[in-house]
Structure 1
Amino acid sequence: MIHSPKVTSLKTLLHIGSGLLVAICLLSNVIGWVGQELLLSNFRVIESSDQLAADVLRVHYDALQLKARAENYAQTGADAQYLGALELQSDLLAAITQLKTRVGEGDALADMLEKMRVHIAVFGDRMELASAERTVRTELLQDKLLKQESEVDQSIAEFETSLNEIDADEASRKLLVAVRAYSMARKNLLRYFIKPVSEDYQQMLDALKRSQSEVQRIELPPENEEAIAAQQRMLAALSEFQTLGVRAVQATRGYMFYVNVVMAGEISEFVHYAKEINSLVRERREATRVAREQAVTRSRLLGVLASALAVVIAAVLAFRLSKVIFDPISGLTKTFLRLAQGETIDSIPAVGRNDEIGRMARAAEVFSRKNQQTKELLDRSQALSEELAQKALMLEESNQELDNFAYVASHDLKSPLRGLRCLAEWVQEDCDGLLSEDSMTHLQQMQARVTKMECLLDDLLNYSRVGRIEQRLEAVDVHEMVESILELLDDSSGVQVAIDGDLPVLETFRAPLQQVMLNLITNAVKYNDKGRDGRIQVASEQKGAMVRFSVSDNGIGIAPRFHERIFQMYQRASSLNVDGSGMGLAIVKKQIEIVGGQIRVDSTEGKGSTFSFTWPMKITKTGHTAGVASSV
């Protein structure tokens, strides 16, 4: 393919070259993937080894801690050390079981862990037995022996009192010897508990026997029953003391056996296995580290070889493709750039080739013809644009004529209406008393309807004037404006009007804003059916370059189906008999939209209404116009 002097199909050439590049990429990716998998496998093994080593180190540390707590418990007998050792033993057993699960059966480490677990379990059992013996010893020493000593002392005192009553000097001497022997036994027993020595224990037993023997040798008259009873109580107390002392010594020996022999042996065993396990894990970590370094070296070598091979093949393919494809395409690119700039080229290079480049050249020729057609279309579009602008101007003039017609119609129709009203008044005055009552009523109705018609024409005139009258920009304090509106407001129903916070100062046209506020507040008063319980609230909130004003009331409300209708001319949504033509909100909407704001109503029938509108903080168009005030 590369040595062929002529190429009849660029598509075939590109497919072959792309296939080779894809094969190189795939080969490189496969080699990289294999290397990465080897590295990841080694890293996973290392990570597992590190985690295992950390867990083993923790087990080793906990084993040493268990040993330390057991030794502290043996020396102090503190319950906190005993409970801590039991808890640590339970945690160690759980950790060893988990480690065995991770290692798997048949591994040397698993065997060591099992042996260590057995010794720790046995250690826990032996520690519980030692604790039981110590509990018995403590109960005997701190409770029963002390109570028994008190009983012995009491029995001695009673026996001594009974002897003094019968004046038995020989018996008193023997009792004194017995008491001394008992005292020596107590001292020997105490020395044994402080430092267990078998000689002290034997001396304690000998002293108690002497004490009991001396008491038994005391001869008493048979008739002295009280002394005989005291003698028997003392012998019984000494015997019970000996029994408790022997039991306490046995408990002490059992406790010392469990602590110094059994527990010490188990501690030595599981600490030994902990060290062996730690050493084995360190050896395995070292072996894993060596394997990782070897895998990294192999992966690097494979990556370098794959990269070098890919670079060589890619360079050869790039050189060949640039000569066969890219140079001719570069020439065509320049041609297309000229065509893109709108030029028309008579002669396109490489049109005679039979491959894809030739087809591209012929496409450029078609592009050149399209440029010529596009130029013609642009000229025609320009003409249509000018015609459209002229139509827009004519439409604007037509709208202006409609506004002028509304202004002229509303203005010129008022003169005949005034004449009609005057004629009705003259007829009523001249024929007063001559016409019937029905005729007089008809004349009054005609005058009222003429007045209504004049009001409608006045509102239509004001609506047509919105946007016509030039206004002067000024700083308008809206708070002061609303207060002045409230002072002029005719509120015979007693509705309460409140201003929420401070209203802003705007740079705007005073008359349009005053008209909007007046209409909205007046409507809120007129359509409030709560009387003195009626409430109206005027508030504002700045929204960027605009201010949102709201006028809220608790009046009759507006059904949702009328929310759009009330802003249209001569439309009303309430059935209340109040003055107005239905043009007020239409004028308000037009005034607000002229300055770039919007108005909306949120209301539910019977639950009051909230009219909110936006107004710019500052009007910059000095030629802006606004309307005049109108009644609602």
Structure 2
Amino acid sequence: MFQLSLKRKIYLGFGIILMLVFGNALAVYFGSKRIAQVFDRMSEIEAINAVVLRLDRDVQELRLRADRFVYSGRESQSNAAKEIFERLRVNIDAATRQQTDPEMVTLFRQIDSRVTEYAKHFDAVIVERKIRQDLVEQQLPVLVRQIEQQMAGLSTWLNGAETTDQRLALVRSQSAFSKAEKLLLRYFENPDGELVESAVAEINDAVGQLAEIEGLQREVDAVVGAIREFESVGLRAVQATRSYLFLRNVVIAGEESEVSYYSAQLRSRAESRREFIASELAATSNRVGLFSWAIVVTAVGLSLLIATRLALAIVTPISDLTNTFERLSSGEVLSDVPGTRRKDEIGKMATAARIFSDQNLRTRELLEQSQQLGIELREQANLLQATNEELDSFAYVASHDLRSPLRGIKHLAQWIEEDVRGDLSSEGEVYLNNLKTRVGKLEVLLEDLLDFSRVGRIEPASETVAVESVLENIVDMVSNPNEIRIDWPGDLPEFETVRAPLEQVFMNLIGNAIKHNDKGPDGAVEVTWSAEGDRYEFAVQDNGPGIDAANFDRIFQMYQRVGDTSIEGSGMGLAIVKKQVEFFGGRIRVTSQIGQGTRFNFTWPCQLQTTPSEVVCGAV
């Protein structure tokens, strides 16, 4: 009977679960797509509500601007109202083009027609308001001044009359006309029909009083004509006022009501559509949720079934193998591994465990050998360290203790020279000079050896060191018979370090560059620098004879000299430089070509007792 392997069983179970998950994903995808479409429709409704809200706001602002224009007559208010008309038309037109609902399109078009009528009526209000403004502010004041001047002329004529009745009649006429003027002005400020009737009565009274004046008929007729013209213009202004008030309070108010009505219809239609879409959204969400839950429950059930079958098939042998591997991981060596006779994946794992056990045995043997080698290496390291310490101590003691007898030999040679110089033969003088020269060389060798052994033994306090000051001191101290030029930039750093070791490094490098330079007065030494993280990198470059690359390692060894051996030196200078630089955690390297000069680069910490992550050279 065909039996599936564990791998195929697992793949089959995962395949079924993946199919269910894929089906759930499809359901969620199409459901989400449907929900997104519903949301898009909901967004359209919200956009319509926003448009309607803007329309209502614009209509309210339009009403405010119209009222302000009616009562103030300011052109800025009428211009603002026209801008609102234009904005309303643009918004309504844009909203109409975006609609797919015929009923909404019809409502927007009706609002557009009402707004158009509104604009026409408002234009009529502007015309009537301007007519009224011209009559009240231009024509009526001119007529008033004309009538007052004519009445003043009559008063002058009547001052010489024998009877006072005519003068009283003129005064009463002037009073009546003044009252009529004030009544009309009050009407224009607060329109009231009774004020107009009273003004007309006062005008008639003024004309009647003028009729009682005799002897000046032509002048009286002129005044009466002017008063009647004033009455005509005033009534025309009243008519214009009533006309634009009628347009504003009746006609335009009706248009506003129409617009508000259609806006309410739009809101109602949008709200009904929103409720319908909301119910459709809820139904779609419920369907997607139920379908997803059904698939999830099915997937969970199948997963539990598959997991149970797989557990029964592999849990026990896997548990045995797990225990086996735990024992193997602790380093144990097993004589027997369960499951090695099986032919399936578990059998392969058991075989791997068998190999693991054999490897543990081999690892244990190697570990024992490694431990033995480690012990031997530690012993050798301790021995090497002790040897190095003995060598350092010997170098220090030798260089220090040999100086006293050597100094005695030097003094002895000086005494001999002082006491018997004239008695020595020429050969004896040569021997004496050779003795003094070799004692001097031996002193230099011992001094360099002592300096080498002192590196790392003395820990002087750090201080703020200006590199430029160090170089200036070196230039003053170093022997430079050929006057070789020594240059450095003006921005050399100033930092916290131990001065003496740094000065010794620069002294040895610059001194070597001067001693070995073969260019005479054309010789040059240049010091440069750069910041590299937590360290400064300095370079000493010369244009001397150069160094063969085969000698790069040799020049840093004790008592090793290359190049012209006739030049005085001990061969310890670069060894001391290397030891000083490495003691402070730096590194030194050399680059050179024969005949093209030599360049030494070394690094130096910009602050002592720090880790590289704590300091950045040049940071504030």
Q: Same fold (TM over 0.5)?
A: yes
Q: How does 1:67-466 map to 2 (within 5 A)?
A: 67=63, 70-71=66-67, 74=70, 89=85, 92-102=88-98, 104-105=99-100, 107-138=102-133, 140-142=135-137, 145-146=140-141, 148-164=143-159, 175=170, 179=174, 182-183=177-178, 185-187=180-182, 189-190=184-185, 192-193=187-188, 194-197=190-193, 200=196, 204=200, 207=203, 211=207, 214=210, 219=215, 238=227, 241=230, 244-411=233-400, 414-415=403-404, 418-419=407-408, 421-422=410-411, 425-426=414-415, 429=418, 454=443, 457-458=446-447, 460-466=449-455
The answer to whether the 8 Å contact 1:597/1:613 transfers is no
- Cα displacement string for residues 268-324 of structure 1 (whole angstroms, at most 9, x for unaligned residues): 211111111111112112212222232233223212322222222222222222222
Q: Using the alignment, how far apart are the partners of 1:64 and 1:50 within structure 2?
A: 21
**Aligned residue number for residue 523 of structure 1:** 470
Q: Using the alignment, how far apart are the partners of 2:437 and 2:465 within structure 1?
A: 26
Deviation of 1:93 after TM superposition, in Å, equals 4.3
Opposite residue 607 of structure 2, the aligned amino acid is F
Q: Residue 48 and residue 106 in structure 1: after superposition, are their counterparts in 2 closer, same or farther (change >3 A)?
A: closer
Q: Using the alignment, how far apart are the partners of 2:375 and 2:390 within structure 1?
A: 23
Q: Which moved more, 1:83-92 or 1:32-41?
A: 83-92
Q: Secondary structure at the match of 1:351?
A: coil
Q: Secondary structure at the match of 1:513?
A: coil
Q: Residue 584 and residue 78 in structure 1: after superposition, are their counterparts in 2 closer, same or farther (change >3 A)?
A: farther
The answer to whether the 8 Å contact 1:35/1:299 transfers is yes
Q: Secondary structure at the match of 2:460?
A: helix
The answer to whether the 8 Å contact 1:410/1:461 transfers is yes
TM-score normalised over the length of structure 2: 0.66
* Counterpart among 507, 512, 515 of residue 460 in structure 2: 512
**Aligned residue number for residue 499 of structure 1:** none
Q: Residue 65 and residue 342 in structure 1: after superposition, are their counterparts in 2 closer, same or farther (change >3 A)?
A: same
- Cα displacement string for residues 466-507 of structure 1 (whole angstroms, at most 9, x for unaligned residues): 5557xxxxxxxxxxxxxxxxxxxxxxxxxxxxxxxxxxxxxx
Q: Residue 408 and residue 71 in structure 1: after superposition, are their counterparts in 2 closer, same or farther (change >3 A)?
A: same
Deviation of 1:368 after TM superposition, in Å, equals 2.3
Deviation of 1:138 after TM superposition, in Å, equals 3.8
The answer to whether the 8 Å contact 2:85/2:119 transfers is yes
Q: Residue 258 and residue 428 in structure 1: after superposition, are their counterparts in 2 closer, same or farther (change >3 A)?
A: farther
Q: Secondary structure at the match of 2:364?
A: helix
**Aligned residue number for residue 529 of structure 2:** 560
**Aligned residue number for residue 493 of structure 1:** none
Deviation of 1:563 after TM superposition, in Å, equals 1.5
The answer to whether the 8 Å contact 1:189/1:204 transfers is no
Deviation of 1:614 after TM superposition, in Å, equals 1.7
- Cα displacement string for residues 30-49 of structure 1 (whole angstroms, at most 9, x for unaligned residues): 23333344444434434543
Deviation of 1:157 after TM superposition, in Å, equals 1.5
Deviation of 1:559 after TM superposition, in Å, equals 2.1
Q: Using the alignment, how far apart are the partners of 1:456 and 1:257 within structure 2?
A: 124
**Aligned residue number for residue 548 of structure 2:** none
Unaligned 5+ runs, structure 1 = 222-227, 470-510, 542-549, 571-580, 601-609, 618-632
* Counterpart among 13, 18, 22 of residue 9 in structure 2: 13
Opposite residue 27 of structure 1, the aligned amino acid is G
Q: Using the alignment, how far apart are the partners of 1:29 and 1:252 within structure 2?
A: 73
Opposite residue 513 of structure 1, the aligned amino acid is A
Deviation of 1:112 after TM superposition, in Å, equals 0.8
Q: Residue 466 and residue 519 in structure 1: after superposition, are their counterparts in 2 closer, same or farther (change >3 A)?
A: farther
The answer to whether the 8 Å contact 1:185/1:208 transfers is no
Q: Using the alignment, how far apart are the partners of 1:246 and 1:112 within structure 2?
A: 43
Q: Using the alignment, how far apart are the partners of 1:63 and 1:125 within structure 2?
A: 15
Q: Using the alignment, how far apart are the partners of 2:221 and 2:473 within structure 1?
A: 116
Opposite residue 523 of structure 1, the aligned amino acid is V
Unaligned 5+ runs, structure 2 = 477-489, 504-524, 531-536, 542-555, 560-569, 589-603, 612-620
Opposite residue 353 of structure 1, the aligned amino acid is R
Q: Using the alignment, how far apart are the partners of 2:465 and 2:495 within structure 1?
A: 14
The answer to whether the 8 Å contact 2:135/2:233 transfers is yes
- Cα displacement string for residues 321-350 of structure 1 (whole angstroms, at most 9, x for unaligned residues): 222233333322222222222233333333
Q: How does 1:460-539 map to 2 (within 5 A)?
A: 460-468=449-457, 512-513=460-461, 523=470, 526=473
Opposite residue 526 of structure 1, the aligned amino acid is N
Q: Residue 145 and residue 377 in structure 1: after superposition, are their counterparts in 2 closer, same or farther (change >3 A)?
A: same
Q: Secondary structure at the match of 2:8?
A: helix
The answer to whether the 8 Å contact 1:189/1:245 transfers is yes
Opposite residue 563 of structure 1, the aligned amino acid is F
Deviation of 1:426 after TM superposition, in Å, equals 4.1
Opposite residue 377 of structure 2, the aligned amino acid is L
Q: Which moved more, 1:276-285 or 1:143-152?
A: 143-152
Q: Using the alignment, how far apart are the partners of 1:519 and 1:150 within structure 2?
A: 99
Q: Residue 250 and residue 462 in structure 1: after superposition, are their counterparts in 2 closer, same or farther (change >3 A)?
A: same
Q: Using the alignment, how far apart are the partners of 1:323 and 1:418 within structure 2?
A: 96
- Cα displacement string for residues 601-621 of structure 1 (whole angstroms, at most 9, x for unaligned residues): xxxxxxxxx99432489xxxx
Deviation of 1:528 after TM superposition, in Å, equals 9.5
* Counterpart among 608, 614, 619 of residue 608 in structure 2: 614
**Aligned residue number for residue 479 of structure 2:** none
Q: Using the alignment, how far apart are the partners of 2:312 and 2:94 within structure 1?
A: 67
The answer to whether the 8 Å contact 1:351/1:359 transfers is yes
Deviation of 1:75 after TM superposition, in Å, equals 6.0
The answer to whether the 8 Å contact 1:344/1:371 transfers is yes
- Cα displacement string for residues 402-457 of structure 1 (whole angstroms, at most 9, x for unaligned residues): 4235324533553465356536644774589999xxxx9xx999989987985774
Q: Using the alignment, how far apart are the partners of 2:436 and 2:89 within structure 1?
A: 110
Deviation of 1:513 after TM superposition, in Å, equals 0.9
Q: Secondary structure at the match of 1:45?
A: helix
Count of residue correspondences: 520
Q: Using the alignment, how far apart are the partners of 1:339 and 1:599 within structure 2?
A: 47
Deviation of 1:53 after TM superposition, in Å, equals 3.2
Deviation of 1:15 after TM superposition, in Å, equals 2.4
